[in-house]
Structures are given as structure tokens and as C-alpha cells.
Amino acid sequence: MDKLSRIGVLTGGGDCPGLNAVIRAVTKSAISKYGMEVVGFLDGFKGLVENSYIHLDLKTISGIGYRGGTILGSSNRDDPFNFLSFKDGQEIFSDQSDRAISHLNDLGLDGLIVIGGDGSLSIADRFHEKGINIVGVPKTIDNDLSATDVTFGFNTAVDTASEALDRLHTTAESHHRVMILEVMGRYAGWIGLHAGISGGAHVILIPEIPYRIESIINKIRQRQWHDKKFSIIVVAEGAKPLGGELVIQKLVPESHDPIRLGGVGNQLAQQIEKLSNIETRVTVLGHLQRGGSPIPYDRILSVRYGVAAVEALVNGDYGTMVSLQGQNIVTVPIHEAIKEQKKVNPKSDMVEAARAIGISFGD
């Protein structure tokens, strides 16, 4: 096997706590252990198409492991296979993948590490099919990639949501209100479930368990009967009522995933106030879940992923994604990692444990 001398790395999709820690680990291990050069493409796949990059060295990545965001920038709208450009003021979508590959070849890159979620990894898999030496690193606060136990960034998002719930408890109790916290997660309820349990929520609403508004009102009334004058509800952005539809905030046609969820918390608050006459307030946590420094768990996991990704390239294990399975980091084919979303099992031990301590799922 030929020795690798130069590799590239990019961060695609939404930002996530731990991205910089992965970039740092990739760069340090590639340089210190294998004597490689490392190129970082700017703003995700957009940088690959437009040949926008920086050289990553030990000075460039010094001190970034604890920082949130990504020093390379990111984008969840730039798909090289359906790339948006403008001509005479008109939007044009075209396949620019060959242009991106030519830039990889011109730079003399022996491999590319793509840090991203299902959308970015789907693109990475298509590049692998075109002959590029690709290794993926699973990144999403949603924790919805089926081939890995945990994605980095998820536990930091849960930590942020849990702290918000701690604060909402005190104001809810002071004013005898219902407080709703809307969290991210797209079509999976992992953040809502974990944060709701750790943050002492009384109702948790997730996409995997359709809710009935009557059940939520009953739970609030039951608490009142036991002299509990406030209630805390966690609702995942992808939650929907039984027989109902998702609440969509907007559509972004040029994105790999054009649907932007959001607004279910406000819709739910209006229903609760109308049916119960109880003052209800909503906090939409939004991008606070993506921002800030990663917690120690995610910093460590990010380092392990970054080092493992470089090892996979060195070993010629292309077209794979590094994955946490149990206590070990392994590699799995990218196409296996992205073929289905990992969702909460409504019959799982965690859901049953939540029910056992009185948490309602609105069903």
C-alpha cells in the first residue's frame, strides 16, 4: 500500500460541539504520527467545489479542542452533485462533482475525511463511488445515525437542554405555569427523551410516540389535584399529534434536507391554554443546542473519532465511517450508516423507566 502524504478534511451540515476537537485530532495525528500534510476545505463541500481551503498545521489547530463551532466553517446547502450557482440573476443547479474531484487531484490529496451527518455522509458516499478515498466521521446533535451508538455533539446538546429545564423549573413553580421547552432532533426524539428525563420533565413528546392533547391536559390536571401547581413539558421539534402533521417552519429547496421543523411548542401552548385555562409559556432552545464548548465526553469522543478516521485512511479502509460500538471505535460502510435513521424505540428500557417515574408521553 502506498504511503499517504497529504489528506483533506471538511465539516459539512449544521455546526455541532466537538467539530474543532475532531479537526485538531485529525491534524495532530496525521502530522505527528504519519508525517502527512493536512488541507482543510472551507465551508463544507462549497470549499471543495470552489477550491477554497487552508493548510492545517500544529499552530493552526493549537487550542481549538475546547472551542465550539468549526474553524473551517460549514454549510448544509452546498451539494456538489446539485450545486447552486447564479447566472443572469437566475438560480442554476448543476453537477459540480467532477470539478470538486479535479481540485482534490490538483492538490495531490490521497484521501478526504468528511465530518458530517446523514446528508454530508450521503454526499461522501457518492464521491467514494466515483473513486475518491473517503472516510466519514459521524456528527449530529440529533444522534440519529443508526450505525453508531453515539454521535459527538449529542451529549453536549442534552446538557444544554437539561440546564435550561433546571432554570425553567424555578420560574414555572414561582408563577404556577406550564412551561414548554422545544428542542431539536428532527425526526428522532433522542434529545427530548434524554433531556426530559435528566431535567425532570413531567411530559415528554417525541416523534416516535404520537401524542393526544387530552392526555397532556389530564397529566397537568393530575398534578394540580396533587397540589403541583406547575408542569414542565419537553417537546421535540418533530413531535406530532396522533393522526396529525409535523409543524414545518420553512422550506429550503437547495438543501439536502429542505424541511426545517419548528413551531410545535407554540402550537401546543395555544391548545393547552385554550383547553385548560392555564398560563403557558414556550422556550424554543434552537441553536443554543448547537453552540458553545463541547462537554468532556464529546471532546474525548471527538478525539477518538478523529484519530480513528486517519487510521482508516492509512489502512486503506475507504468508503467507511468511524463508529462507536460499545467501548470500541470501529469502521462501518458509509452506505450502511446512512440507510436508515436511528429512532427511539417506544418500548425501550429508557422509555419504560421514564413511565415508571410518572413521566407522560402524551399517548
Nearest 5°: the CA angle 282, 14, 307 is 130
Helix (H) or strand (E) holding 123: helix 118-129
- DSSP for residue 82: G
User: Among residues 43, 125, 142, 144, which one is catalytic?
Assistant: 142
State whether residue 321 is helix, strand or coil.
strand
What is the phi/psi pair of residue 76, to 5°? -110, 20
Active site residue 142: yes
Residue type, 209: I
The span from the first CA to the last CA of the chain, in angstroms, equals: 57
Q: Is the separation of the CB atoms in 262 and 210 below 8 Å?
A: no
Distance CA 207, CA 144 (A): 12
Q: Is the separation of the CB atoms in 219 and 357 below 8 Å?
A: no
State whether residue 145 is helix, strand or coil.
strand
Q: Pull the grid cell for residue 64.
A: 481549538
Distance CA 52, CA 21 (A): 21
Q: Is the separation of the CB atoms in 138 and 148 below 8 Å?
A: yes
Cβ-proximal residues to 282 (8 Å cutoff; 6+ apart), any chain:
180, 181, 182, 265, 266, 268, 269
Given phi > 0 = left and psi -120 to 50 = alpha, else beta, which region is 321?
beta
What is the phi/psi pair of residue 111, to 5°? -175, 165
Bridge-partner residues for 329, per DSSP? 324
State whether residue 120 is helix, strand or coil.
helix
- DSSP for residue 360: B
Cβ atoms within 10 Å of 242's Cβ, excluding its own: 12
Active centre residues (catalytic): 142
